Amino acid sequence: MKKTTQLYEGKAKKVFLTESGDLVIQEFKDDATAFNNKKKGSIADKGIVNNAISCKLFTLLEEHGIRTHLVEKLSEREMLCRFLDIIKVEVVVRNIAAGSLVKRYGFAEGTVLQQPIVEFYLKDDDLDDPLMNESHAVALGVATLDELAVLKSRAEAINAVLKTFFAEKKLKLVDFKLEFGRHHNEILLGDEISPDTCRFWDLDTNEKMDKDRFRFDLGGVEDAYSEVQRRVLEID
Ligand code: UDP
């Protein structure tokens, strides 16, 4: 499948149209940003690692009956995907308190939540992706109430599959962000699932093994990403 025009260039990926109007190619870059673009850098081979991890996790979710945009992994950095009408809602699922949950609500970092928290954020960089509830999303016209209910239940189902999978890999799935899109009357999971979009803590040591190492200059960023890849793909 050949790339045609570039549709979009984001912080971590480029998206290209293909000769088939229904398919796009996501190309994963090494560029890294944090704090809404205020911190910029690069993580060596991140694009390769995130593509490999995302393809594996989307395949796992498909095996559990959760539909995603993945068609196939094309190359080290390229994923062939169904062309989605992206819903401008970022869905965050949390199992353990960290990041903005700690800042906003005063939880102690590491508090295990009684049940997962699902949050909606408006996908809008200019506004710093504000937290929103269903009424905001409907008023803004970004999704219908029915669609938001699908996003929430889909996010919970994805969390159940991923939490079990990562526990087997000796990783705690602390929290993660999902994006969905419309495709022929269906809602599919899109974007990526990777150490850029999830928090992973080592099950035994609680060591952070995700983008927080980049965000907070903890060092060992590349090693953490490749260790997650090794565990997810079970590479010796
Ligand atoms: N996240 C993301 N993209 C965003 C915001 C958050 O992938 O634009 C992920 C983030 O990596 C973490 C989870 O969503 O795994 C929850 O992030 P949080 O709200 O704590 O915000 P942050 O601390 O990243 O600002």
Query: What per-residue confidence (pLDDT) applies to 36?
Result: 85
Say whether 167 sits in a helix, a strand or coil: helix
Identify the helix (H) or strand (E) that includes residue 219.
Answer: none
Q: Band the pLDDT of 235: cuts 50, 70, 90.
A: confident
Measured between alpha carbons, how far is 105 from 69 in angstroms, rounded to an integer?
A: 34
Measured between alpha carbons, how far is 179 from 96 in angstroms, rounded to an integer?
A: 20
The CB of 197 under 6 Å from ligand 1? The reply is yes
Mean local confidence (pLDDT), 18-43: 95
Q: Give the tens place of pLDDT for each residue, 34-92.
A: 998 899 999 999 999 999 999 999 999 999 999 999 999 999 999 999 999 999 999 99
Query: What per-residue confidence (pLDDT) applies to 21?
Result: 86
CATH value of 3-82 in 3.30.200.20, 3.90.1640.10, 3.10.20.30, 3.40.190.10:
3.30.200.20
Please say if the pLDDT value at position 217 is more than 90.
yes
Q: Give the tens place of pLDDT for each residue, 153-193.
A: 999 999 999 999 999 999 999 999 999 999 999 999 999 99
Measured between alpha carbons, how far is 194 from 172 in angstroms, rounded to an integer?
A: 14
Structure tokens at 202: 């080592």
Cα(119) to ligand 1 centroid in Å equals 11
Cα(121) to ligand 1 centroid in Å equals 10
- Phi and psi at residue 29, in whole multiples of 5°? -100, 170
Mean local confidence (pLDDT), 22-40: 95
Residue nearest to atom 3 of ligand 1 (CA): 197
Domain 85-220 belongs to what topology?
D-amino Acid Aminotransferase; Chain A, domain 1 (3.30.470)
CA angle, 218 then 224 then 230, to 5°: 175
3-state secondary structure 49-117: HHHHHHHHHHHHHHHCCCCECEEEECCCCEEEEECCEECCEEEEEEEECCHHHHHHHCCCCCCEEEEEE
Q: Give the tens place of pLDDT for each residue, 108-165.
A: 999 999 999 999 999 999 999 999 999 999 999 999 999 999 999 999 999 999 999 9
Mutate to test the pocket of ligand 1, among 92, 179, 189, 198 (most ligand atoms within 8 A of CB): 92
Q: Are 81 and 70 in contact (CB under 8 A)?
A: yes
Cα(29) to ligand 1 centroid in Å equals 19
Cα(61) to ligand 1 centroid in Å equals 21
pTM score above 0.85: yes
Nearest to 54 by CA among 175, 197, 182, 181: 197
Cα(140) to ligand 1 centroid in Å equals 22
- Phi and psi at residue 154, in whole multiples of 5°? -65, -40
Query: What per-residue confidence (pLDDT) applies to 120?
Result: 98
The domain limits of the chain are 3-82, 85-220
Quickly tell me which residue has 């690692």 as its tokens. Answer: 49
The CB of 199 under 6 Å from ligand 1? The reply is yes
Residue nearest to atom 2 of ligand 1 (CA): 197
Please say if the pLDDT value at position 236 is more than 70.
no
